[in-house]
């Protein structure tokens, strides 16, 4: 097996590069400062690409690497420089490092807030410029103690910021659509249901959220108008969260006393940006993660993530799919396997032009997060039934949507006769194919095909024989297979269950040729033959 090649396209910590170099099965190239056209030329050679914020991984780059490129790693949090939808479409996992720079960014943002409260940069300049007395009079600040801080975005960085603010005696409220009451209580922050509720009561506001269509200009003219007079704002997250034109107007109107910006809508900001000449704004040049510790942490973290994804298939801190780490694999690995087999079997039994894919969970499996299990079943269906191996956990939902297949999950309320049961149904509005599976101990088994209850192993080459429930048919089938030199590994029979019909599932040591299948179809009483491979 050839080694997986990884391209490091932006500077990362040397320890991260060494980690990849030492991994058996990984080859590393460090090529910095590449243009888009150079990346397009190189992409087909690499299974993994690592970047920071300098290099952009655009749609043409991802498309050029399609079929080879498996993972893109961002040594940092923001992934604005990676085309996520196109990566997902092509089955490329995108991972970032949300924890590596958490402390550095939280500390920097808090430092900016303190500098803003006490006018540190401007006071410093007054001393350097021999304006000591003038500066002492001009730069009177405010205390943090007993002030209300609104945190927009309570992920890792927001939580670390809250700890520091509480240490200074601030009252902390937070808005985050994913923050629950129990978690907010454990963090000792007041939970706000809307952005408006948070900003209306704030003396200070800090932002710690990604830039998305929903969060772009989350602080705008309308929300500036509803803030307290004299509010101070810190943005150490992503440029574009604040509408800079509206911000300038609010500063001019005296609504906002000061702003500290580490990030900008356009970086670097244009020399004629009117914010740059103001005394009520504190700037740093995107330094949130710029500490020795943070850079080493994110370099090592993304190197480990890329290595483990390429060598072991684990996925950690992905932005376009659920995590698939070792603990998750231990919990649901067996379910992933049987779901894929059921999807593949249903796909091969499916009617023409299926537009419905449904998976039902009963028993114990219905009590866990089944997102990846559903994707595994869908992958099995699409791989064999439609796309010749192009589906994976990432792009399976998008491929299904592209082909007009509606995917649904259900958890029937009726009590199951099995401890756990998964049923995959594929149909086109007129016909459906349905298969169910479970575990007998640790062994996966097919226990139902359409309405036929059966017990069969979902592996290898199978033929499904539907026939009238009459003597001699199974023997004739066995004779034809024997005459063709095809050994039967096992046989499972469901007899007389549906309208006098029987179903046999026969596991074979080799796939039957077309003429063998034709001979089987000619056996009197045989109603249908389907050959499948799992």
Query: What digits encode the pLDDT tens for the residues 113-148?
Result: 999 999 999 999 889 999 998 888 888 999 999 999
Query: Quick check: is 289 in a domain?
Result: no
Among candidate residues 459, 449, 461, the one with its CA nearest the CA of residue 503:
449
Taking 80 as the threshold, does the pLDDT of residue 497 lie above it?
no
Structure confidence at residue 44 (pLDDT): 96
Instruction: Identify whether residues 235 and 258 lie together within a single domain.
Output: yes
Which pLDDT score, from 0 to 100, does residue 268 have? 92
Looking at the fold, whether 79 and 142 belong to one and the same domain comes out as no
pLDDT at 500 over 90: no
Taking 90 as the threshold, does the pLDDT of residue 251 lie above it? yes
With a CB cutoff of 8 Å and minimum separation 6, the contacts of 28 are: 5, 6, 8, 17, 20, 21
Q: What average pLDDT does range 289-309 have in this prediction?
A: 92
321-343 confidence digits (pLDDT tens): 887 777 777 888 889 999 999 99
User: Pairing state of beta strands 356-363 and 488-498?
Assistant: unpaired
What are φ and ψ of residue 220, in 5° steps? -135, -175
Candidates 74, 238, 358, 452; catalytic one: 238
Which pLDDT does position 388 carry in this prediction?
Answer: 40
Same domain? 343 vs 211: no
* Weakest mean pLDDT among 304-313, 350-359, 413-422, 431-440: 413-422
Tell me the chain's radius of gyration from C-alpha atoms. 30
Final residue of a structural domain among 450, 480, 504:
450
Answer whether residue 47 is part of any domain. Answer: yes
Catalytic entry in 286, 403, 461, 530: 286
- Catalytic (active site) residue 267: yes
- pLDDT-derived band of residue 385, with 50, 70 and 90 as boundaries? very low
Token pair, residue 287, equals 């330094």
Q: What is the mean pLDDT of residues 20-42?
A: 96
Task: Determine contact, residues 372/322, Cβ cutoff 8 Å.
Answer: yes
Predicted pLDDT at 289: 85
Does 288 map to a domain? no
Q: What is the pLDDT of residue 390?
A: 66
- Residue 286 falls in the annotated catalytic set: yes
CATH number at residue 228: 3.40.50.720
For residue 323, the model assigns a pLDDT of: 79
Q: Is the per-residue pLDDT at 195 higher than 60?
A: yes
In degrees, rounded to 5, the angle at the alpha carbon of residue 461 between the alpha carbons of residues 460 and 463 is 140
Comparing CA positions, the residue from 299, 309, 312 lying closest to residue 10 is 299
Report the CATH number that the domain containing residue 527 is assigned in CATH.
Answer: 3.30.70.260
Q: What is the pLDDT of residue 352?
A: 84
Report which DSSP code applies to 416: P
Q: Is-contact 463 513, C-beta < 8 A? A: no
- pLDDT for position 499: 61
Q: Is the pLDDT of residue 1 over 60?
A: no
pLDDT bin (cut points 50, 70, 90) of residue 389 is very low
Catalytic site residue from 38, 129, 267, 293: 267
Both 108 and 94 in one domain: the answer is no
116/250 same-domain check: yes
For residue 498, the model assigns a pLDDT of 55
Per-residue model confidence (pLDDT) at position 501: 85
Q: Are residues 357 and 382 in the same domain?
A: yes
| Residue whose tokens read 């990346």 | 39
Domain of residue 25, residue span:
4-98+294-312
pLDDT of residue 375: 92
What pLDDT does 415 receive? 77
How does residue 494 score in pLDDT terms, banded at 50, 70 and 90?
Answer: confident
């Amino acid at each position: 097996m050839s080694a997986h090649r990884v391209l490091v396209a932006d500077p990362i910590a040397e320890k991260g590069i060494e980690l990849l170099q030492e991994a058996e099965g990984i080859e590393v190239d460090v090529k910095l400062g590449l243009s888009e056209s150079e990346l397009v030329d190189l992409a087909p050679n690499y299974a993994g690409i690592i970047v920071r914020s300098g290099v952009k991984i655009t749609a043409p780059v991802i498309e050029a690497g399609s079929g080879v490129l498996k993972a893109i790693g961002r040594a940092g949090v923001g992934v604005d420089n990676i085309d996520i939808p196109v990566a997902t479409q092509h089955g490329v996992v995108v991972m970032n490092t949300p924890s590596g720079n958490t402390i550095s960014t939280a500390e920097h943002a808090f430092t900016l807030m303190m500098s803003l409260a006490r006018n540190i940069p401007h006071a410093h300049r007054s001393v350097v410029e021999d304006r000591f007395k003038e500066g002492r009079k001009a730069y009177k600040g405010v205390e943090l103690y007993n002030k209300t801080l609104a945190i927009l975005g309570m992920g890792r960085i927001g939580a670390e910021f809250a700890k520091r603010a509480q240490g200074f005696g601030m009252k902390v409220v937070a808005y985050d659509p994913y923050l629950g009451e129990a978690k907010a209580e454990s963090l000792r922050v007041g939970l706000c249901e809307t952005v408006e509720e948070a900003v209306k009561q704030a003396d200070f506001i800090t932002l710690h959220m990604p830039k998305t269509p929903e969060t772009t200009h989350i602080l705008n003219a309308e929300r500036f108008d509803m803030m307290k007079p004299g509010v101070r704002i810190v943005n150490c997250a992503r440029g574009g969260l604040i509408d800079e034109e509206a911000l300038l107007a609010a500063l001019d109107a005296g609504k906002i006393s000061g702003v500290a910006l580490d990030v900008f809508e356009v970086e670097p900001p244009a020399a004629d940006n009117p914010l740059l000449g103001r005394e009520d704004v504190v700037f740093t040049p995107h330094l949130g993660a710029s500490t020795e510790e943070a850079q080493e942490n994110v370099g090592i973290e993304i190197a480990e993530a890329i290595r483990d994804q390429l060598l072991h298939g684990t996925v950690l801190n992905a932005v376009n799919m659920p995590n698939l780490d070792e603990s998750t694999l231990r919990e649901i690995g067996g379910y992933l396997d049987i779901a894929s087999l059921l999807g593949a079997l249903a796909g091969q039994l499916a009617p023409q032009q299926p537009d419905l894919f449904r998976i039902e969970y009963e028993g114990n499996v219905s009590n866990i997060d089944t997102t990846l299990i559903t994707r595994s079943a869908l992958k099995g269906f699409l791989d064999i039934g439609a796309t010749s191996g192009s589906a994976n956990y990432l792009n399976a939902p998008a491929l299904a949507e592209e082909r007009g297949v509606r995917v649904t999950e259900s958890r029937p309320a009726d009590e199951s006769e099995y401890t756990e049961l998964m049923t995959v149904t594929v149909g086109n509005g007129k016909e459906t194919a349905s298969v169910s599976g479970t575990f007998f101990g640790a062994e996966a088994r097919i226990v139902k095909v359409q309405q036929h209850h059966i017990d069969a192993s979902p592996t290898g080459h199978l033929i499904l024989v539907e026939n009238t429930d009459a003597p001699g048919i199974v023997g004739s089938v066995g004779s034809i297979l024997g005459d063709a030199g095809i050994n039967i590994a096992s046989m499972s029979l469901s007899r007389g269950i549906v309208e006098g019909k029987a179903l046999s599932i026969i596991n074979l040591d080799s796939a039957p040729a077309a003429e063998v299948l034709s001979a089987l179809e000619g056996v009197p009483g045989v109603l249908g033959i389907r050959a499948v491979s799992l």
